[in-house]
């Protein structure tokens, strides 16, 4: 998407609220042709595609950042269908004068351009919008930020959409190295032997069930002259078959997306670096595949961890928390982390609790939780914090090992979260379970089918607002 300070086109799209009676609108309204209902259009174009389009934004008192993103996303899709890549936009002052909502105009339009075409022989042509607006000086700065942040979400989507026969720990690490070459993000990749030297026994136990060797990927963006940094950790299962607790075909078919948490970490670092946000941030990914093999962990095994805590593996399909236990402990002890936020496609229970479009949060720190919740709202990534009570902490205790990776009895998104908390060593920590919103079967609001890149906008906004 491009932003033009000058109007280059004879196509004007007036985006208007319901009940706006200015200009032609009164006539159109009286003739019942257009009343401004959400996502409705009235086009008055000549054969060259020049003229005026009205686009409805619904009721003025109902508009908010999320709806602005969604409606402008649909407008972008409409312009693609109409083959109108160059448009001049007018935007109601309520949106243009609101610092959050005006950015959403671009966030919505730009996200309409996303396609994942890599494996299609007849690739759909890329549709790239060029947009000018009234009072462009008002809008230019928010466009520049949005451009990088949305691109960060696209980076995450592209990683998640890659199938697991193409994206596995080794190729994932190589692609991340490639993405950040010639940038201010440095990437360290640790192979199996180095992971063993670090003592990451839980991570390695999961990884050894696959022929594809694991990688620990550490990305450092350190613009400030100090050692301390925020750490963002992402679940990086490039495939989750369930292991010996094997999933059904239907439950497995989208499990290439089990690295979506880590892709959000990569996408956020991409955006932070491109914008040049002045915060030290380190990303950590323990990348592995959860597979079946003679060397794979089995249901009932008791394993160790980098922290030394013993874990009963009562379900090999609860593998994410095993890899994250070591990744979070590494962040808490080997790095100079001040705060840790992890993102993970961790539990089906998060979907059961909150539905498919909402992220579940668990945290040990109210201030950090509130800051991330605020960022998720501004990032249009709905997130809800779940509680953790003493009864939940009892549930994760093991019978023969110290912790149980798969407690029974419900509350699975909570027990998975506080399992991770055990490895954060008391640092302020937030866990985001993105099992639902990370990957969708069909387009939803402003998101496409497949990978959503969820988490990128929340992380970016949280860190940029510090």
Q: SS3 for 143?
A: helix
Site string for ligand BES, 248-287 (x = CB under 6 A): ----------x-----------------------------
Residue 311 interacts with ligand BES (CB under 6 A)? no
Residue from 65, 76, 214, 320 in contact with Zn ion (CB under 5 A): 320
Name the residue nearer to ligand BES (CB basis): 346 or 424. 346
The strand pair at 429-433 and 359-363 is best described as antiparallel
Q: SS3 for 195?
A: helix
Residue from 56, 85, 209, 320 in contact with ligand BES (CB under 6 A): 320
Report which of 359, 413, 348, 423 is spatially closest to residue 387, judged by C-alpha positions.
413
- Answer yes or no: are the C-beta atoms of 288 and 237 closer than 8 Å: yes
Task: Compute how many other C-beta atoms are within 10 angstroms of the C-beta atom of residue 397.
Answer: 12
Cα torsion angle, 202, 206, 212, 216, sign: negative
Residue from 69, 205, 347, 359 in contact with ligand BES (CB under 6 A): 347
Q: Is 409 exposed, middle or buried (0-12, 13-18, 19+ CB in 10 A)?
A: exposed
Site string for ligand BES, 431-460 (x = CB under 6 A): ----x-------------------------
Q: Which two tokens stand for residue 199?
A: 């003592």
Residue from 20, 158, 201, 240 in contact with Mn ion (CB under 5 A): 240
Residue 15 interacts with ligand BES (CB under 6 A)? no
**Residue 145 contact, options Mn ion, ligand BES, Zn ion, none, Cβ 5-8 Å cut-off depending on partner type:** none
**Nearest distance, CB of residue 346 and Mn ion, angstroms:** 9
Taking CB under 6 A as the criterion, which residues in 398-417 touch ligand BES? 406, 412
Residue from 20, 107, 312, 317 in contact with Mn ion (CB under 5 A): 317
**Nearest distance, CB of residue 81 and Mn ion, angstroms:** 39
User: CB nearest Mn ion: which residue?
Assistant: 317
**Nearest distance, CB of residue 134 and Zn ion, angstroms:** 48
Could you list the active site residues? Answer: 247, 321
β-pair partners for 362: 431
- Answer yes or no: are the C-beta atoms of 435 and 347 closer than 8 Å: yes
Which range in 137-145, 193-201, 339-347, 458-466 contacts ligand BES by CB under 6 A? 339-347
Q: SS3 for 230?
A: strand
> How far apart are alpha carbons 206 and 304 in whole angstroms?
11
- Chain Cα centroid distance, residue 257: 11
Residue 349 interacts with ligand BES (CB under 6 A)? yes
**Nearest distance, CB of residue 355 and ligand BES, angstroms:** 13
**Residue 406 contact, options ligand BES, Mn ion, Zn ion, none, Cβ 5-8 Å cut-off depending on partner type:** ligand BES
Report which of 192, 188, 218 is spatially closest to residue 205, judged by C-alpha positions.
192
**Residue 90: enclosing H or E segment and its boundaries?**
strand 86-90
Name the residue nearer to ligand BES (CB basis): 85 or 453. 453
Which residues, at least 6 apart from 270, have a Cβ–Cβ distance to it below 8 Å? Answer: 148, 151, 152, 155, 179, 180, 185
Binding site for Mn ion (CB under 5 A): 240, 317, 319
Which spans of this chain sit near ligand BES (rule: CB under 6 A)?
240, 258, 315, 317-320, 345-349, 406, 412, 435
């Amino acid at each position: 998407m491009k932003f033009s300070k000058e109007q280059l086109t004879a196509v004007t799209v007036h985006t208007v609220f319901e009940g706006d009676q200015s200009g032609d609108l009164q006539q159109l309204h009286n003739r019942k042709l257009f009343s401004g209902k959400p996502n409705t259009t009235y086009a008055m174009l000549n054969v060259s595609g020049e003229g005026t389009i009205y686009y409805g934004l619904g009721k003025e008192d109902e508009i908010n950042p999320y709806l602005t993103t969604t409606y402008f996303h649909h407008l972008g899709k409409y312009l693609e269908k109409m083959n109108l890549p160059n448009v001049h936009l007018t935007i109601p002052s309520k949106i243009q004068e609101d610092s959050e909502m005006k950015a959403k105009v671009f966030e919505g339009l730009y996200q309409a351009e996303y396609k994942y075409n890599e494996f299609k022989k007849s690739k759909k042509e890329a549709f790239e919008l060029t947009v000018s607006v009234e009072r462009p000086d008002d809008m230019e700065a928010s466009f520049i930020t949005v451009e990088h942040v949305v691109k960060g979400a696209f980076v995450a989507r592209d990683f998640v959409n890659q199938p697991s026969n193409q994206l596995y720990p080794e190729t994932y690490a190589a692609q991340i190295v490639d993405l950040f070459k010639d940038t201010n993000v440095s990437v360290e990749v640790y192979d199996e032997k180095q992971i063993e030297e670090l003592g990451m026994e839980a991570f390695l136990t999961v990884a050894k069930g696959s022929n594809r060797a694991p990688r620990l990927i550490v990305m450092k963006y350190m613009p400030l002259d100090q050692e301390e940094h925020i750490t963002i950790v992402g679940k990086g299962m490039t495939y989750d078959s369930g292991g010996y607790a094997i999933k059904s075909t239907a439950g497995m078919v989208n499990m290439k997306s089990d690295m979506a948490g880590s892709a959000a970490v990569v996408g956020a670092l991409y955006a932070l670096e491109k914008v040049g946000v002045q915060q030290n941030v380190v990303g950590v990914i323990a990348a592995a595949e959860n597979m079946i093999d003679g060397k794979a962990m089995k249901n009932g095994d008791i394993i160790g961890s980098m922290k030394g805590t013993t874990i009963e593996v009562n379900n090999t399909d609860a593998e994410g928390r095993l890899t994250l236990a070591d990744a979070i402990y590494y962040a808490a002890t080997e790095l100079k982390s001040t705060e840790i936020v992890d993102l993970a496609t961790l539990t089906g229970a998060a979907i059961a609790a909150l539905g498919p479009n909402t992220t579940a949060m668990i945290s040990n720190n109210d201030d950090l939780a509130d800051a991330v919740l605020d960022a998720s709202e501004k990032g249009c990534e709905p997130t809800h914090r779940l509680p953790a009570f003493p009864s939940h902490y009892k549930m994760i205790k093991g019978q023969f090992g110290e912790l149980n990776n798969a407690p029974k009895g419900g509350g699975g998104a909570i027990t998975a979260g506080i399992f991770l908390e055990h490895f954060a060593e008391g640092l302020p920590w937030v866990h985001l379970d993105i099992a639902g919103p990370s990957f969708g079967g069909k387009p939803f609001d402003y998101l496409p089918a497949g990978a959503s890149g969820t988490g990128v906008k929340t992380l970016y906004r949280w860190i940029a607002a510090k």
